[in-house]
Chains A and B, each alone.
Chain A
């Protein structure tokens, strides 16, 4: 009998590998030293452990240990990469290109930089209008003066606006229907002001793997830095910063069977990439990220990286086989299913599938002993379904009907068999009570109906 509950949400997080935990424990007990303590054995031990972990993480991605900056996780790494590059290279340019399907840690960081720029431009506008009109510029007369003096086309203002603002302008590229970036669109979006391209390795919802090597080659040729949020793909699909010409890469431990709360930013040394820190302090991590190192977690991160590197080929093959078993089991038994995202360029452990006319959240309720995710955001205040699926052009109803299965290291054949049977059963049950399924079966075009949006 299969053990419940079953975990199939490996994109959200992965369990800590018991081997990793064992290696971490001494650093939570007797070897508690501060890796920055240079004058005693406690510090030396911690420093040596961190050095080893740094090598292990570097080796997983084809980097050298001096290129690894430990952080609290991928969100911090993403923030550090983007804000750090924009700050450091502000005299060179301020344009970022990213994708609409990126993680919120990228998108919201970019949005903040856009706001910073806009606020600065607003200040400059007010300053210039003060000069032109000889009046105090307030919220009340701003619009009137702006129109009167046509400040948007004022030569002096335009010159000021070309100076670094501390923020950025951002292009959010659409993706193709399979979730991948178009290289033509990416090349076309580049301007002389472009300093950074930030494109993820693999998507957290649909598992789509981007053409990283092609993007890296294009960016290198254009003299633009390339940051890759590599969280979801690392340890699952081969990733090599040299072969792929990646300049900065965000990694986190808890997506590869390490502990939560630790991650890294890879920062290229040759040709050298510079970033301004976003956390100031004791100058740890070569000044790029101050703060006492979380030694036990870093040890776990290193160990997890080494297991991932050594076991990747076998593990990827095994997980792919299970994923295909799941996919075939579901799609053979059920009609009107749609796979979201590319099947060809996809993480082995990802299956994102829409069961038309069966709503995702109620399906999750029906399979409550199986942990999965849904693109239906019925639980959130917005009621908007997944922005990733919408960016692919997935119909909203199908986005509401989508389920993300994430398989991983500890997924078994028995679990897949159980999940197939359970999901097929529940989808059928929900469709029996779905007016949409009944109408679709009768041949009614659901698009032809005037729905009352609420």
Chain B
């Protein structure tokens, strides 16, 4: 199967690979997928108190399309507000990377990873606020 140039570019030069401190109250971590399915994505977002995504890091176990999908969304979410990031859909990812039908699940995983990371951040924030009050 031939990969699109954009998938190859992200695979060969992945953006924002890395690990953030998951204990940091401003870091939301999303871990989605399953090793048994051959895809696991971990997306970490550093989010300011007023809800803007300052930075993003990913690590992915999966095929080239899964790596490219996660690499791409780290670029997209940076600078966005949490609400804006929540509107990124798997269709946007699939279209940008020209993913074939059998690879659509990779883009779904990327969307899920954003939502999971933001949810983790919101949970942490809620827990902090509950503690403070």
Contact = CB atoms under 8 A, between A and B. Distances in A.
B64 A361 contact: yes
Given A378-B63, A435-B59, A435-B60, A453 B36 contact: yes
A452 interface: yes
Interface in B22-38: 31-38
A446 B32 CA distance: 13
Nearest to A379: B1
A358 B64 CA distance: 11
A359 interface: yes
B76 interface: no
Nearest to A437: B61
A435 B108 contact: no
A410 B121 CA distance: 56
A452 B34 contact: yes
A435 B42 contact: yes
A179 interface: no
A435 B14 contact: no
Contacts of B36: 395-397, 400, 451, 453
Contacts of A446: 35
Contact of A380 (B58, B66, B102): B102
A418 to B, nearest CB: 19
Given A453-B34, A454-B108, A362 B39 contact: no
Contacts of A454: 32-34, 37, 39, 105, 108-109, 112
A162 B124 CA distance: 67
Interface residues on B, range: 20 to 34
Nearest to B105: A454
The 3 closest A-B pairs by CB, nearest first: A451-B34, A397-B35, A396-B36
Contacts of B19: 438
B35 A376 contact: no
Contact of A432 (B3, B8, B17, B34): B17
Contact of B61 (A366, A379, A380, A435): A435
Contact of A359 (B34, B42, B63): B63
Nearest to B67: A362
B51 interface: no
A370 to B, nearest CB: 15
A366 B7 CA distance: 12
Contacts of A400: 35-38
Contacts of A357: 61
Contacts, number: 99
Interface in A406-454: 432-438, 446, 449, 451-454
Given A380-B102, A385-B38, A400-B35, A433 B63 contact: no
Interface in A371-401: 376, 378-381, 383, 385, 395-397, 400
Given A379-B1, A433-B14, A433-B17, A451 B60 contact: no
Contacts of B1: 379
Nearest to B71: A433
Given A359-B62, A400-B37, A453-B37, 13 more contacts: A359-B38, A361-B38, A361-B64, A365-B8, A365-B11, A366-B11, A379-B63, A385-B38, A400-B36, A400-B38, A433-B67, A453-B36, A454-B37
Contacts of A453: 34, 36-37
Nearest to B63: A361
Contacts of A436: 35, 40, 61
Contacts of B34: 451-454
A360 B62 CA distance: 8
A400 B112 CA distance: 21
B45 interface: no
Given A383-B37, A435-B42, A452 B59 contact: no
Most buried by B among A381, A433, A436: A433
Interface in A340-382: 357-362, 365-366, 376, 378-381
